[in-house]
Homo-oligomer: A and B are copies of this chain.
Amino acid sequence: MLQANADIDNSQALTERQQAVLDAVLRLLVEEGDNLTMTAVARRASCSKETLYKWFGDRDGLLTATVQWQASKVRVAAVDGRGLDLASLTASLERFASDWLKVISSDTSIALNRVAVSHAGSGKDNLGAVVLENGRFALAKRLKPVLEAGKKAGLLDFADAETAFRSFFGLVGRDVQIRLLLGDRLELTEAAIGGDAARATQQFLALFGAKTGPQGH
């Protein structure tokens, strides 16, 4: 499911101490939202403000470093495109959906998306681009090969992988993300996520599965 990655070096040479600081920022971001102060970060991380500014430049630098640090930690599992039969393709899609739902419903993801949305409205949309790149676009980059493999294997039928992915994205996410971002309670249990992933996968297959003779519903 979720794994720390070592392949993509998105966190450029962070010391253990710096990582601890960024983890403190994450925790603080979950608790207090975007209105965290540098003094609060310093107090929580047991470091001085001078050190914060020396390491991360300014407040925005600290925030972007935090977003990148979190992005380097959480990553949806890659699935090899060797899923030739329908069963393994279905399993891969379900796992993608489940991982994705688990990520976007996590406290840290919600907090990070919130601060990124806030900053997107305030001029410099640095954070928004980073979140988008490590979220929606990273997912597409990982899922498309699977879709293409499914198409090659005659299991899927679509003209454009991008549009197929976007439909899958919509079927999985539906209104979950916007509701969570807007503060709607809606705790997703493990079981509910599994059910949603299976449902979304079945719907996607119903729309984009290759029609090889009549298959009962």
Tell me if A33 and B122 are in contact (CB < 8 A).
yes
**Nearest CB in chain B: distance from A107 CB, A:** 11
A188 CB-CB contact with B under 8 Å: no
Q: Which residue of B lies closest to A123 (CB)?
A: B33
What residues of chain B lie closer than 8 Å to A131, measured between beta carbons? 182
Q: Which residue of B lies closest to A174 (CB)?
A: B170
A47-55, A88-96, A112-120 - the one binding chain B: A112-120
- Per-residue B-contact encoding for A117-148, CB less than 8 Å = 1, 0 else: 11011110100110110001000000000000
Bound form: Cα–Cα A174–B207 in Å: 15
Tell me if A118 and B118 are in contact (CB < 8 A).
yes
What is the interface residue range for chain A against chain B? Answer: 35 or more
What residues of chain B lie closer than 8 Å to A118, measured between beta carbons? 34, 114, 117-118, 121
- Choose one: B34, B113, B136, B179; the contact of A132 (CB below 8 Å): B179
Within residues 3 to 58 of chain A, which ones have a CB less than 8 A from any CB in chain B? 32-35
Bound form: Cα–Cα A167–B123 in Å: 34
Bound form: Cα–Cα A51–B10 in Å: 50
Tell me if A111 and B115 are in contact (CB < 8 A).
no
A86 CB-CB contact with B under 8 Å: no
A181 CB-CB contact with B under 8 Å: yes
User: Which 4 A-B pairs have CB atoms at the shortest separation, nearest pair first?
Assistant: A33-B121, A120-B183, A125-B183, A128-B183
24 interchain pairs (CB within 8 A)?
A34-B118, A34-B121, A34-B122, A115-B121, A117-B118, A117-B182, A118-B118, A121-B183, A125-B182, A125-B183, A128-B182, A128-B184, A131-B182, A132-B179, A166-B174, A167-B203, A169-B175, A170-B171, A170-B175, A173-B175, A177-B178, A178-B178, A181-B181, A207-B207
